[in-house]
Structure formats: C-alpha cells, structure tokens
Chains A and B, each alone.
Chain A
Amino acid sequence: MTLIDLANPTKFLSLTARVLPWLAGATAILLLVGFYQAAMAPDDYQQGATVKIMFVHVPNAWLAMFVWGVMSLAALGTLVWRHPLADVAAKAAAPIGAAFTFLALVTGSLWGRPMWGTYWEWDARLTSVLILFLMYLGLMALWRAVDDPSRAARAAAVLTLVGAINLPIIKFSVDWWNTLHQPAAVLRMGGPSLDKAFLIPLLVMAVGFSLLFVTLHLAAMRNEILRRRVRSLQMMQASQQAA
C-alpha cells in the first residue's frame, strides 16, 4: 500500500524532472540580469553605494515571510486534506525559508553597519526578522525530533499555523516596543517613493529570488520524496529479513 501512497508523488517527480531545468535556467538569467542592473544602478545621494545591499536584502526579507506563508498553506493541506505532498512541501520549505531569513538578517546587519555605525541595532524590523529566524530554527528542530514523518508533519503543521497567527502579533508588539524605547525615528527605506532606477532592478531581483525559491523548493521536495522511498524500502527489507 506504500506504493499507492506514492502514486501521486510519482507524477510529481516526473513532472518536476521536466520543469526543473527550465526553472533553474530562468532563475539564473533573471538573477544575472538583476545583479547587472543592480550594479549599474546609481548610488544614493545619502547612502552611497551601500544602497545596493537593498537589492539582495529586500527580496530575501520578502521571501523570509513568503516561505512561512507557503508552509502555512502546506500545513492546512496536511491537517485538513491529509495530502502526502503537503507534508513534503512543508518540510522542504523550512530550511530554505530559514536560509532566506538568515540572508535577510546578514544583509540587514551589513547595511546597518554604515548606516547606524553598528552591526546590530534593536530595530523593529531586524528584531522581528530575528524572531522569525528563531521560529524557523525551532520548526526545523521539531521536524528532526520525530522519527515518523507523518507524525512530525502534523506536529509541525500545528506549530506553523500557530506561528502564522502569532507572527503578525509579534511584529506588532515589537514595533510598539521599539517605538517605546527608541522614540527617535530610525532610518527607514524610501518605500513607494523609490526612484525608478532602483525600483526596476529591485523587482527583477525579487522575481529572480522568488524563482530561486520555487526551484530550490521543488528540488528539495524531490529529495524528500526519494528519501522517504529509501526509508520505506529499508523498512520493507527489515521486515522481510525478520519474517
């Protein structure tokens, strides 16, 4: 019956085998174009060349949150529809999300050094992302702590959804806490008033990094499916030898 279980993942494997090279190619091209445009973008009149960190930092920060959203959808798939691919999708997304979050933190900190004169500032955004990073790590620890993948999936799904409810609350609390302790406004990015010369490379990079996520996620899901097959084959072998 394990073979019936894997029927759906089998289709997934053959489909992704065809799609992945194209995705990887598109990702590479977009990121190359994005990096080129970012390098060509003019310096900011205040921040100088350091503004270019933004082109990496912002897409990463965006994906850090987006990946949690993807995991939450997968968690619903696990709990409500008990879909086997949903477990795999959630598990494969966690380390990638953690990596994006880590990159967002590192680039944010590097950006902060020239701006604030220190690598770490208890700025509301950085702090929120740091907590998000901690939650990613906790989730990965949870995945590793349970042997049976389907039980791990359900526990992780509950935690992911609770996180999805809590993250906005944490973000709000940290913002509030930050304004309480630092009444002086910290330097904030331009937001929508961003010049076109910055906006277009930023968008290209955002799309490029999103495609990178999709590529990595699909590849990680393939690995996870194959890893589970190996596991069930090994289990079958064990039970045959016992019999």
Chain B
Amino acid sequence: MTALAALIRRDIKIALRVGGGALIGVLFFLTVTVLMPFAIGPDMALLTRLGPAILWLGALLASLLTLDRLFTADHEDGSLDLIVMGRTPLELACAAKALAHWLAAGVPLIVATPVLGLLLNLDGTATSAVALTLLVGTPALTFTGMIGASLAVTLHRGGLLLAVLVLPLSIPVLIFGVAASQAAISGPLSFGTPFSILCALSLVSLVVGPFAAAASLRHGLD
C-alpha cells in the first residue's frame, strides 16, 4: 500500500506544481464553456436547456486532453520502466495513476461546475445535478481515457489520434451523464435510473481500464 500511496502522492504533487497539467484542464473547461454562448447566441432559455450538455462536453474534452500525458511523461524520463519492473502489480499502479489524475484534474472540474453553471443560467438544482453526475461520471472518463493514454506510449505520440480512439468509447458515459442531469432538471424520467447506470459504467471502467492499460504498457515498451 505504501507503494501505491507514494505513487498517488507523487503524481498529485507533480500535477499541482509549476508545469503540471491540473489547472490547465480547468482553464480549458472554462474556455470551452465560455465559447459555447458565442456559437449558440446569448439566448438564456436556450443556454439553460443546453447547459448540462455543454458542461458535460467541456468536462469530457478537458479530462481527455489532460490524460494525454498520463503515461508518456513517465515513459520519456524512464520512470515507466521502473514502474513496470516494480513489485507492485502493474494493474494496481495504473489504477493508482488514474486515481491521482482524477483527484488532481477531475475534481477541480467538478468544483468549477457551479461557477460555470451561473454563466449558463442553470439554477441550483440543475447545477448540483450536473456536478453530481460529473462526480460519478468523470472517473469513468479517466479510467477509459487511461487506455488511450497507455496506447500513446506505443504510438510515441498522442494528441488527435488518441482522441479519435477514446472518444467513441466515452459515448455511453456522455449519454447517461447528460440524461441524468436533464432528468433532474425537467424530467420526465426519474433521476435514479440513468444515474445508477452512470455509476455502473464508472465501476465497469474501474475494472476494465487498469487491465487494458497494463496489458498495453507491458507489450508497448521497447
């Protein structure tokens, strides 16, 4: 356990210090959300209706873009070799890295949601519904995106190709995340159904993600 705790602590420290990616993710989220009204128009009623979708898309893109470097940074400086050789199972190490990434880059997105909700004319219920769905949904995004991040090690590059590979996999999370938020705001569905499915998706990705990432890393080193 000390090994995993040490890994999580290290990754969070790096993310929060100068040059780390955590706050850039929030900044990106903010910028995307601010851009939307310029594309749609300052129609407050329309923004209210589209608000949850805009916030979810912004969070999806922000978490994907910051994931890009999850493994490549460690690969470039040789840390990944030592992590693969270590006595901690690689699956657990991957899960720990993803958890650290979520804590450093995912949680700030959720914290920023209420502020952005104001800009999109969402009321208290709507904002808290979106924040709650992001809270249970963003782990799924992180743990699915981690698979793409591990492929980036083999590819020697990430960026666009990574987004092309990972975005289709995150469609279910997007569907149920937005659906649950909408359900809480306007109905007609109950909030519980899509929300439970969203939780289930997160749990599935918590299992699948580390295994797929570890398999890809083990085979992808050279």
Contact = CB atoms under 8 A, between A and B. Distances in A.
A51 interface: no
Nearest to B163: A138
B10 to A, nearest CB: 26
B168 A135 contact: yes
A176 interface: yes
B208 interface: yes
Interface stretch (A6-14, A104-112, A139-147, A231-239): A139-147
Contact of A138 (B164, B197, B216, B219): B164
B74 to A, nearest CB: 17
Interface stretch (B40-48, B59-67, B170-178): B170-178
B176 A158 contact: no
B175 A176 contact: yes
Interface size band for B? 20 to 34
Given A158-B147, A158-B212, A142 B161 contact: yes
A214 interface: no
B219 A79 contact: yes
B189 to A, nearest CB: 7
B219 A162 contact: no
Contacts of A174: 171, 175
Contact of B201 (A79, A142, A169, A177): A169
B77 interface: no
A151 B154 contact: yes
A180 B189 contact: yes
Given A158-B216, A180-B189, A173 B154 contact: no
Q: Which of B147, B157, B172 has the most CB of A within 10 A?
A: B172
Contacts, number: 82
A173 B172 contact: yes
B172 A142 contact: no
B98 to A, nearest CB: 15
B168 A154 contact: no
A165 interface: yes
Interface residues of A, number: 31
A96 interface: no
A170 B189 contact: no
B7 to A, nearest CB: 22
B155 interface: yes
A173 B171 contact: yes
Given A134-B168, A145-B161, A162-B212, A155 B175 contact: no
A154 B171 contact: no
A131 interface: yes
B175 A173 contact: yes
A151 B175 CA distance: 33
A163 B165 CA distance: 10
Given A169-B172, A173-B176, A158 B165 contact: no
Nearest to A128: B171
Contacts of A139: 165
B169 interface: yes
Given A155-B219, A176-B179, 5 more contacts: A131-B168, A138-B161, A141-B161, A158-B150, A158-B215
Interface of B: 147, 150-151, 154-155, 157, 161, 164-165, 168-169, 171-172, 175-176, 179, 189, 197, 201, 204, 208, 212, 215-216, 219-220, 222
Interface of A: 79, 131, 134-135, 137-139, 141-142, 145-146, 148, 151-152, 154-155, 158-159, 161-163, 165-166, 169-170, 172-174, 176-177, 180
19 contacts: A134-B164, A134-B168, A135-B168, A138-B165, A154-B219, A155-B151, A155-B220, A158-B147, A159-B147, A161-B212, A162-B212, A163-B169, A170-B172, A173-B172, A173-B175, A174-B175, A176-B176, A177-B175, A180-B179
